[in-house]
Amino acid sequence: MVGGSNAGGSIYLVSNSFSDSGESWVEAVLTAREDLLSLNEFVRFGENGSPPLPVEFRLSPNYPNPFNAETNIRYTLPEEAHVTLRIFNIKGQLVRTLVNEIEQAGFKDVRWLGKDSSGLDVSSGMYFIQLEVKQQKFVERLLLQK
């Protein structure tokens, strides 16, 4: 869904499908007046019916957070780039690499099942998600509660 309005102003919704199961993610919900924000500050609309694309690299907070067993991690890529998405523990030790490849531009969604690189369940505690793309690093905190 792209765009919509009500009597009090404009409300814009941008949504994109991310998985084979048809899950969707609402990327932006804005109440905007003509003199304030433009939806184009968050996404750029594709040509010839192609889906909207983000305008910046960004790592969003995981959800749910805190979580038990699994959590979703979302990030945006305005252009094709090599992406590394890693989970670190509170000591700064690498727990697992979730993504390490070149990805196309778009809205991305990765699920972490609370397991280390050996496939073993990790213990309860604080962890960090690190997105590295185009010599930029983004970090979010997440909390696993069992």
CATH of the domain at 118: 2.60.40.4070
> Does residue 79 have a pLDDT over 60?
yes
Q: Quick one: 36 and 82 in the same domain? A: no
Determine the Cα–Cα distance for residues 114 and 72; give it in Å rounded to an integer.
11
Host domain of residue 123: 58-144
Q: Are residues 62 and 49 in the same domain?
A: no
User: What global pTM score does this model have?
Assistant: 0.68
Query: Do residues 28 and 76 share a domain?
Result: no
Window from 41-55, 90-104, 131-145 with minimum mean pLDDT: 41-55
Segment 90-110, tens digit of pLDDT: 999 999 999 999 999 989 999
Q: Are residues 36 and 71 in the same domain?
A: no
Q: What are phi and psi of 40, to 5 degrees?
A: -65, -15
Non-local (6+) Cβ contacts of 42 within 8 A are 14, 27, 28, 30, 54, 55
Of 99, 58, 56, 59, nearest in space to 78 by CA: 56
Same domain for 70 and 125, yes or no, is yes
pLDDT for 58 equals 92
pLDDT at residue 115 is higher than 90: yes
Mean pLDDT along residues 80-97 = 96
Residues 100 and 122 in one domain: yes
